[in-house]
Structure 1
């Protein structure tokens, strides 16, 4: 097993706020509304770090005192691409930081017997090759959906890609890291393992069901 903490393209957060909020997410008594808000807040905290290398350009503005040149995020620079459906829960947290970001969507579903991912939808902002792309999915379990989603983004011309999740299993993190070593991966918490049904342990259950209140 890879020593994830030694890998330059993997960030496993230790921030107390992120860890505290993840602990509340895990609680089976946490209701849909609170769960949804926590996912948004965690995405915002992780996004602050993940977007630390956004490109800036100097623009001229006029303050109440005088004109000046001041840095702002460059034009077509950010796209958020959630893996449907659970990844949608993280989008609003990132948009709270960068409201001008474009949003794409990749639809994946997991075969209940083989646990293999299958794509059913892909729509990306254009020109995708000019943007920093942040792929979101709360759970990185087997890693199959994340690997396939990033494969699709690269086929469409995406070059600078980051992946954000809230909880990861070691098996999924290793698979994603090996398949896409050029992708920076941000993990809220690294859990123990997958069980026989490919669910993360201790995990938090089905993130999509808990975000959207479905069973």
Structure 2
């Protein structure tokens, strides 16, 4: 399974500000959206193109535009929502889905509480959005849901990942490509990515 780490200078610069504990909620949301846009640039590098004939102010030429292949972005609630607009700025015609999961306090396993996907998800290339790939419990569960609904071409996009989370996705969904801005050192005893950036949901929405 392919892992793509987008280490472009712009990504790394914005990521450094995201990590800083002094970065406020508004700036955090804006930066997360900008990093997502740059990640999407790489994640969508293999989209198909079709030749089209257009007229420039000077002449007629053959140009290339995205083929009719349908796209979908699916956010894992709640933190994944911050990544949606970054992608829609690039491909506004993409449809959006949502998967809501929470972790059972006793079993520590993800529990699905909401799922709303495009009705034709099986016909679309899907980009699953989860800012922090830590233990990968939510991502693995969401990938299983997407596959049960018929999705076949799926990429997982995260801003920061831990080696443990990457390994788990690779073991359970080896066909899914992962695109991230950084792979950090490890998970601590509470399942947080180190050095990470803290709880993405809390920093996005100002909750603690």
What TM-score does the superposition give when structure 2 sets the normalisation length? 0.94
Q: Deviations over 1:146-166 (max 9, x none)?
A: 011010000000000000001
Q: Match of 2:166?
A: 173
SS at match of 2:23: coil
Tell me, in whole angstroms, the C-alpha distance in 1 between the residues paired with 2:68 and 2:134. 34
1:55–1:77 CA contact under 8 A, matched in 2: no
Unmatched 5+ stretches in structure 1: 1-7
Deviates more, 1:72-81 or 1:157-166: 72-81
Q: Which residue of the other structure, out of 41, 45, 51, is the alignment partner of 2:34?
A: 41
Structure 1: distance between partners of 2:107 and 2:191: 10
- Indicate the residue corresponding to 1:79 in structure 2: 72
Is residue 186–residue 193 contact of structure 2 (8 Å, CA) maintained in 1? yes
Partner SS state of residue 40, structure 1: helix
Number of aligned residue pairs: 208
- The reply on whether 1:141 has 2:134 as its aligned counterpart is yes
1:67 CA displacement: 4.5
Aligned residue in 2 for 1:194: 187
- Map 1:148-167; keep pairs closer than 5 Å: 148-167=141-160
Output the CA distance in 2 between the equivalents of 1:113 and 1:197: 14
Determine if contact 2:6/2:42 at 8 Å carries over to the other structure: no
The equivalent of 2:45 in structure 1 is 52
* 1:103 equivalenced with 2:96 (yes/no): yes
Equivalence for 2:19 = 26
